[in-house]
Amino acid sequence: MDAGAQEQQRHTARLAVWDVPVAVPAGETFSVKAGVKSAGGVPLGGGRVEVHDGAGTVVASGALGHAPWLGSEALYWTEIALQAPAEPAALTLTARFDGNASEPHESTSSAFSIHVVARAEHTLTVTVEASGAPLADALVRLGPYRAPTDAAGVARVRLAKGQYELVVWKTGYVMTATPIAVEADAAIAVATQPVSEENPDAVWTA
């Protein structure tokens, strides 16, 4: 078979990356999941996904498992471990799949970004209330650092020293951002307000 005929038989594929952390402390390891689906329905287990940095250097890779993602149609996936740079930075990486030997596929890729932040030095304990009662399952955000509240309305956020705006979000509630300076371990209590039924999805400024 000539090269032209083989090229015509190449399948197309789509690659997706998910479970990407919003922020990673400098120097720490983290992981993402990457999955590839063949347009021709070809099993892709054993195929390799590589992660490249901005210079095109391979910084990590993972082999696709032989079982598709549960509930999907032939989405073969892998979890890839990476290490954040030693200094805070905005990091853009690209996951790439170049097919496999038995069933050639066209190359496919997907870029994703990571916010590398300073190493966490302190713990801020945030207690969230609404109408005098603890508010569970709310998202507390201070810059790139985030944590959910538990059943007692408490979130513990590990973060670096600095100036932040504390924002709490949960569908059906609204709270004005609160400026806060973090110099040591600390605790703070904040209150949210239910929004009207006409606006159940209060504006989220994340």
Q: Which of 4, 165, 32, 44 is nearest to 92 (CA)?
A: 32
- Which pLDDT score, from 0 to 100, does residue 22 have? 82
CATH 2.60.40.10 placement within the chain = 3-117
Phi then psi for residue 52, to 5 deg, are -110, 145
> How many alpha carbons fall within 13 Å on the CB side of residue 78?
23
- Mean pLDDT for 36-40 is 92
> How many alpha carbons fall within 13 Å on the CB side of residue 198?
0
Is the confidence at residue 206, as pLDDT, over 90? no
Is the confidence at residue 205, as pLDDT, over 50? no
Q: How does pLDDT run across 46-104, given as a tens digit for each residue?
A: 999 999 999 999 999 999 999 999 998 899 999 999 999 999 999 999 999 998 766 78
Q: In what order do the strands lie in the sheet with 178-182?
A: 145-148, 139-142, 162-169, 178-182
CATH 2.60.40.1120 placement within the chain = 122-194
Q: Is the distance from CB of 97 to CB of 49 less than 8 angstroms? A: yes
The more confidently predicted of residues 7 and 119 is 119
Residues in the chain: 206
Q: What is the CATH number of domain 122-194?
A: 2.60.40.1120
One-letter identity of residue 62: G
Q: How does pLDDT run across 136-188, given as a tens digit for each residue?
A: 999 999 988 889 999 999 999 989 999 999 999 999 998 889 999 999 999 99
Q: Which of 154, 134, 129, 143 is nearest to 181 (CA)?
A: 143
- Mean pLDDT for 23-50 is 93
Residue 87 CA: distances (Å) to CA of 30, 31, 83, 90 = 15, 18, 12, 10
Parallel, antiparallel or unpaired: strands 154-159 and 162-169: unpaired
- Which pLDDT score, from 0 to 100, does residue 78 have? 98
CA 108 to chain centre: 20
CATH topology of domain 3-117: Immunoglobulin-like (2.60.40)
Q: How does pLDDT run across 142-156, given as a tens digit for each residue?
A: 988 889 999 999 999
